[in-house]
Structure 1
Amino acid sequence: MGRISDQQLVQKIRDGDREAFKKLYDRYHKQLYFLAKRYLKDQYLAEDAVQDIFIKIWNKRAKLRESSLKGYLFAMMKNHLIDTIRKQKSSTKVKEEFKKVSQQKPRREKTAEKIIYDEYREMVHKALDNLSPEERKVFEMKNFEGLSNAEVADKKDVSVNTVKTQFYLGSKYVRNYLKKHADIQ
């Protein structure tokens, strides 16, 4: 295909040309990766971010415009990074709450606190019961055992990306369940 302009790439991608899409990927993926890695500080999250951006480009190819493709890609990445960082902070907050709940032992003399603790723990277990067995196991290994993505992947003999996906889906479900049933923000 030789060196063609971004505008020509956009036109070909809109027409469903996979070779043009590969050319676009080859042209910009490294720049997007280094940007993502600088802010996310994690190789795997940065790779996922780049993959997500290019999946969105392909899925929205019919709506692509020929003006400033590079600017559009970097704006998408910026928004994706902001969302990812926001989700990480939210996930960290939920993780801290789960650690507190799993490590606390209710005192017998404080009946009201024990009741609340038991109700909260019951809600957590109800939320976990609704997860797939894989999501639940990954969630428990990361939150209750404190294992990293790589350690979970090694123990379960799956890829780190599989662990991240299962943890993301499980955490999202549990977080939404607790927001709905336990009024936890």
Structure 2
Amino acid sequence: MDRNILNDAALWQQVKRGDTASFSCLFERYWEEMFSMAYRRLADEATAKDFVQNIFIHAWENRQQITVEDKLSPYLFTALKYSVIRHIYREAKQGTTDLPLSVYSLPDETEQRKQDHYEFDTLKEKVQWEIAAMPDKMREVFILSYEKELSVREIALRLSLSEQTVKNQVHNALKRLRLRLQSQSVYLPFIL
């Protein structure tokens, strides 16, 4: 079977059955364009490659939850966009780069992309609201892990908890977020 002549939806049906050759075909179909987009935004070849690779890894791991009606590109490029925005905000928070005056001032923005940023910001607000609604200890552990980026060991030492308790709290917090934000859960890894 010549996979190159199949459309994305047909290939994705094979991917859902665990067909790595069909997944490789989709990877080859979109890799270069995604890398180019990531590199234009990040100006760092290694980081751009990592971003694209991580999106494909995430797509493979979540292939059963991803629906492809026509093309896989909307999922891939939306995930890439959210990853880049998250990266820019993190670097700005750490003081390693300046945050653009607005996410809309990023290069090559179109009206659709502005709408996507609005949707991203709305989802981010929902995530923040859900984090604020967590039980105190869970919220504290989760914030130290995801916002402060401390290791399990560092959190355990700081809060006088066992490392297993920290792992459990982070796991339960993520499970809670996925459950409460089910319709957007495919994009959560790119926001958190």
TM-score between both structures, scaled by the size of structure 2: 0.48
Q: Distance in 1 between matches of 2:66 and 2:89?
A: 27
| CA distance in structure 1 between the aligned counterparts of 2:31 and 2:22, rounded to whole angstroms | 14
Which residue identity is paired with 2:64? A
Q: Which has the larger radius of gyration?
A: 1
Compute the RMSD of aligned alpha carbons: 2.7
Decide which moves more: 16-25 or 81-90. 81-90
Separation of aligned partners in 1, 2:66 and 2:83 = 18
* 1:14 is aligned to 2:16: yes
Q: Is the Cα contact below 8 Å between 1:40 and 1:81 reproduced in 2?
A: yes
Amino acid at match of 1:32: M
1:47-70 superposed Cα distances (whole Å, 9 cap, x missing partner): 010011001100110012122311
- 1:69-117 Cα offsets, whole Å, 9 max, x none, are 1111111111111111111112236xxxxxxxxxxxxxxxxxxxxxxxx
Runs of 4+ displaced beyond 3 Å: none
Aligned pairs for 1:75-154 within 5 A: 75-92=78-95
Find the counterpart in structure 1 of residue 172 from structure 2: none
In 2: Cα distance, 1:44 partner to 1:90 partner: 21
C-alpha distance in 2 between matches for 1:92 and 1:9: 43
Q: In the alignment, does 2:173 pair up with 1:173?
A: no
- Cα distance between partner residues in 2 of 1:92 and 1:8: 45
Letter in 2 for 1:45: T
Alignment-mate amino acid for residue 59 of structure 2:
I
- TM-score by length of structure 1 reads 0.50
Unpaired segments ≥5 residues, structure 2: 97-145, 160-192
Q: How many residue pairs align between the two structures?
A: 103
Counterpart amino acid of residue 14 in structure 2: K
